[in-house]
A and B are shown apart, each in its own frame.
Chain A
Amino acid sequence: MAIEVRVPTILREYTGGEKSVNAEGDTLHAVISNLEVNYPGIGGRLLDDSGLRRFVNVYLNDEDVRFLDGLNTSVGDQDAITILPAVAGG
């Protein structure tokens, strides 16, 4: 029951350099909590007090979770999650 999570370069300091790690959970929130257990510190880079950070994009397969159910999006073990920091600025 492992879900593949693709980790962007900037967060690989938490995953020992791994581009892709496995996590468990039946919602995105549960998957992120599980990531935080195995890769302490990564959760804070994804979430703030109001939920998913504004400039972090998370995709379930190829769909931005903001257009699904956000952190409550259901996740199954055939799914892949991709994390990409926004490319943005002023």
Chain B
Amino acid sequence: MLEISSDLVDQIVRHARTDHPDEACGVIAGPVGTGRPERFIPMINAARSPTFYEFDSADLFKLYREMDDLDEEPVVIYHSHTATEAFPSRTDISLASEPGAHYVLVSTRQTGQDDGPYEFRSFRIVNGEVAEETVKLI
């Protein structure tokens, strides 16, 4: 189960809306070992694409060094789908490399940049296996 504040959910959704129709991506870091998502870190999608996302490699390095310095880990790794459901694609599954993270998918396919319904779902992706989990707002 992912326990996350509604404020962080709002920030993720706002980022996804802003970048629509391109995919948005980012991390919520938290103290190592706690599983608590606390620090919202929106990332630039270096691919700037409606069908692909990738953290810029220099930004990725800075992000991991910063988390290391602060004794944090990536508790949530999020990205948006802008034309399809909020479910990991085959590419998402094959490239997932943080078995301890919650992979959050947001879909903005219904209303794009405008307010309205959205999908927000969370998954574990370990060794190519996807398991959806409950999202509990705290």
Contact = CB atoms under 8 A, between A and B. Distances in A.
Interface stretch (B14-22, B83-91, B106-114): B83-91
Interface string A72-90: 0000000000101111111
B98 A10 contact: yes
Contacts of B95: 55, 85-86, 88-89
Interface in B70-120: 77, 79, 88-92, 95-100
Interface string B24-64: 01010000000000000001000100011111011011001
A88 B99 contact: no
A62 B61 contact: yes
Given A90-B89, A90-B92, A10 B60 contact: no
Contact of A88 (B55, B61, B64, B100): B55
Size category of the binding interface on chain A: 10 to 19
B89 A89 contact: yes
Contacts of A66: 57
Contacts of A87: 25, 27, 43, 54-55, 60, 77, 97-98
A68 B96 CA distance: 26
Contacts of B99: 9-10
B54 A86 contact: yes
Given A64-B57, A88-B55, A9 B64 contact: no
Contacts of B47: 88
Nearest to B49: A90
Nearest to B81: A90
Interface in A1-17: 8-10
A87 B97 CA distance: 8
Interface of A: 8-10, 55, 57, 59, 62, 64, 66, 82, 84-90
